[in-house]
Amino acid sequence: MEFTKSKAMLERYSASLSTSNAVSFPMVISHGEGCWLTDLDGNKYLDMMAGIAVNTTGYAHPAVVKAVQEQAAKVQHLCFAVFASEPQIELAERLKKHVGQDYRVFFGNSGTEGIEAAMKLARYHTKRPYFIAFTGSFHGRSMGALSLTASVSKYRKGFGNLVPGVFHAPYPQPYKYPRTAEMTVEHLEYLFKHTTPPEEVAAIFVEPIQGEGGYIVPPKGFMQTLRDICDKHGILLVADEVQTGVGRTGQFLACEADNVKPDIVVLAKGLASGYPISAVMFKDSISTWGPGAHGTTFGGNPVSSAAALATLDVLENSAMDNANIQGAYLLERMKAVQQKVPELGDVRGRGLMIGLEFVKENKLENPEMRDLVQKLALEKGLILLGAGSHAIRLAPPLVITSEDAKFAADVLESVILEAAKH
Ligand SMILES: Cc1ncc(COP(=O)(O)O)c(C=O)c1O
């Protein structure tokens, strides 16, 4: 593969963009269609990460393009804090159909802003100071959200002190140790007894499947266990569905797998196929804050809201079913590869949120093999992204075709077998 034009562009990038950005791909993308991307040098790739689980409808989906163009030509911005606008209202109503009629919606711009709003509402409503989150979690990088994030210490390094009053419990890790849900509950009880009076905890923040932490699927019933603990102590349960939500796991919310209704749900990434938006959905009963208590200039932008409505049309028509069908296929193919390659220690996931964990003997982390698989796959036209220190995430657009899923599985199988020889 030639990267001449991309290389020149990346040199310009390095000269002007923030050194905090972690650009790792050798190519710069020119355009996309469906699940395929083309770079500046004309190389083509099947995208199995969808802008980190964002581009639900892939690239240039005609329905999304049409909705965006029409809304942009009508009105592009009306500050949500002071103006009601039709696409926002329609979007809130559509989201309530999926999440529950007893919820309200606050629109923001990004996942981290959604988490920030959830933290503020939880404190405001409960008048309690503390939060509990989990090790391995990723909730964003603004100061409040970063205080909850506990996936990699690098994200926190140099930014202390963070928001005080956040305590962490270990997330279940069914494969690794294994660490069971019971151990997590035991640790929560330990926190309640020794450091964190439960009656002073405003909220527990949890990802129903951990994303950045390594696509870790907790045992069935874990969310219900947390719901029960929250109910016992009057704590709000906040489901961070920024990565898992909007159909990614084959259900609108990943919490649905446990039949759990959180007090607050945060959606973002996949909601508008790449247009910036987040939706914090909270029970009507906790909407005790008054006008001006919280707000944002750009949140719920009408163009993003129109893109979200078009995305929901595609999702409801077929994409959520497709996530189940293609997800089951990819899971089965990868489990078959796992039988042949002991270094592919674990294959897990729901819908189109699938994690492949690479290990050495005794389940020791194998980031070298993970990185090699990614590199070899890219040479064959498959874009993969890591999750956690030594896993790969499969999070393609939810509209991925059977043909594309087969191409992805074939390439993955061949590069995993090849990497295992090194
Ligand atoms: C579960 C989860 N929460 C929050 C965030 C933060 O979202 P954003 O990057 O849009 O601020 C992310 C981003 O990866 C995420 O995966």
pLDDT per residue over 223-233, tens digit each?
999 999 999 99
Cβ atoms within 10 A of the Cβ of 280, count?
A: 26
Which residues in 88-117 are b (16+ Cβ under 10 Å) and which e?
Answer: beebbebbbebbeeebebbbbbbbbbbbbb
Same domain flag for 290 and 391: no
d(CA 92, CA 300) in angstroms, rounded, equals 10
**pLDDT tens column, 162-176:** 999 999 999 999 998
Is residue 240 in contact with ligand 1, taking CB distance under 6 Å?
yes
State in Å: Cα 277 to ligand 1 middle: 12
Same domain flag for 227 and 255: yes
Same domain flag for 18 and 32: yes
pTM of the prediction?
Answer: 0.98
Is residue 242 in contact with ligand 1, taking CB distance under 6 Å?
yes
- State the SS3 of 162-220: CCCCEEEECCCECCCCCECHHHHHHHHHHHHHHCCCHHHEEEEEECCCECCCCCECCCC
The pLDDT score that the predictor gives to residue 80 is 83
**pLDDT tens column, 323-361:** 999 999 999 999 999 999 999 999 999 999 999 999 999
- Nearest CA residue ID for atom 10, ligand 1: 111
**Contact in structure between 37 and 383 (CB atoms under 8 Å):** yes
Name the band, by pLDDT with cuts 50, 70 and 90, for residue 79: confident
- Give the angle subtended at the CA of 353 by the CAs of 302 and 377, to the nearest 5°: 105
- Most ligand 1 atoms within 8 A of CB, residue of 112, 151, 248 to mutate: 112
Same domain flag for 206 and 354: no
Same domain flag for 91 and 184: yes
Same domain flag for 110 and 179: yes
Query: Ligand 1, closest atom to CA 244?
Result: 1
Is residue 57 in contact with ligand 1, taking CB distance under 6 Å?
no
All residues at 6 or more sequence positions from 243 whose CB lies less than 8 Å from its CB, including other chains: 52, 53, 111, 207, 209, 211, 212, 269, 270, 353, 395
Which of 314, 336, 351 is where one domain is finished? Answer: 314
Query: The domain containing residue 305 runs over which residues?
Result: 62-314
Is residue 211 in contact with ligand 1, taking CB distance under 6 Å?
yes
State in Å: Cα 208 to ligand 1 middle: 13
Same domain flag for 213 and 302: yes
C-alpha dihedral, 88 to 397 to 354 to 180, nearest 10°: 0
Same domain flag for 193 and 204: yes
Peptide bond just before 161 cis, omega within 30 deg:
yes
Mean residue pLDDT of the chain comes to: 97
Residue 216: C-alpha distances to residues 179, 278, 333 (Å): 12, 23, 19
Is residue 244 in contact with ligand 1, taking CB distance under 6 Å?
no
- Nearest CA residue ID for atom 4, ligand 1: 139
Same domain flag for 299 and 181: yes
Three-state secondary-structure class, residue 275? coil
All residues at 6 or more sequence positions from 102 whose CB lies less than 8 Å from its CB, including other chains: 283, 284, 285
At 273, list the tokens.
């196929």
- Nearest CA residue ID for atom 7, ligand 1: 111
Please check the confidence at residue 72 and state whether its pLDDT lies above 90: yes
Is residue 138 in contact with ligand 1, taking CB distance under 6 Å?
yes
**pLDDT tens column, 90-129:** 999 999 999 999 999 999 999 999 999 999 999 999 999 9
Same domain flag for 292 and 184: yes
Please check the confidence at residue 371 and state whether its pLDDT lies above 90: yes
Same domain flag for 324 and 297: no
Name the band, by pLDDT with cuts 50, 70 and 90, for residue 81: confident
d(CA 377, CA 379) in angstroms, rounded, equals 5
The pLDDT score that the predictor gives to residue 346 is 98
- For the chain, the first-to-last Cα distance in angstroms comes to 22
CATH number of the CATH domain containing 239: 3.40.640.10
d(CA 370, CA 214) in angstroms, rounded, equals 12
Which of 267, 298, 314 is where one domain is finished? Answer: 314
Query: Ligand 1, closest atom to CA 210?
Result: 1
The pLDDT score that the predictor gives to residue 130 is 98
Q: Is the dihedral of CA 372, 377, 380, 384 positive or negative?
A: negative
State in Å: Cα 140 to ligand 1 middle: 5
Same domain flag for 39 and 97: no
Q: What are phi and psi of 114, to 5 degrees?
A: -65, -45
Which of 260, 291, 314 is where one domain is finished? Answer: 314
CATH number of the CATH domain containing 402: 3.90.1150.10
Three-state secondary-structure class, residue 243? coil
Is residue 110 in contact with ligand 1, taking CB distance under 6 Å?
yes
**pLDDT tens column, 8-35:** 999 999 999 999 998 999 999 999 999 9
Is residue 112 in contact with ligand 1, taking CB distance under 6 Å?
yes
User: Above pLDDT 70, what percent of the chain?
Assistant: 100
- Most ligand 1 atoms within 8 A of CB, residue of 113, 242, 267, 278 to mutate: 242
d(CA 190, CA 43) in angstroms, rounded, equals 54
Domain count, the chain: 2
d(CA 104, CA 247) in angstroms, rounded, equals 20
The pLDDT score that the predictor gives to residue 9 is 97
**Contact in structure between 106 and 280 (CB atoms under 8 Å):** yes
Residue 128: C-alpha distances to residues 114, 134, 199, 234, 395 (Å): 19, 19, 8, 10, 37
Query: Ligand 1, closest atom to CA 241?
Result: 1
- Give the angle subtended at the CA of 351 by the CAs of 336 and 175, to the nearest 5°: 60
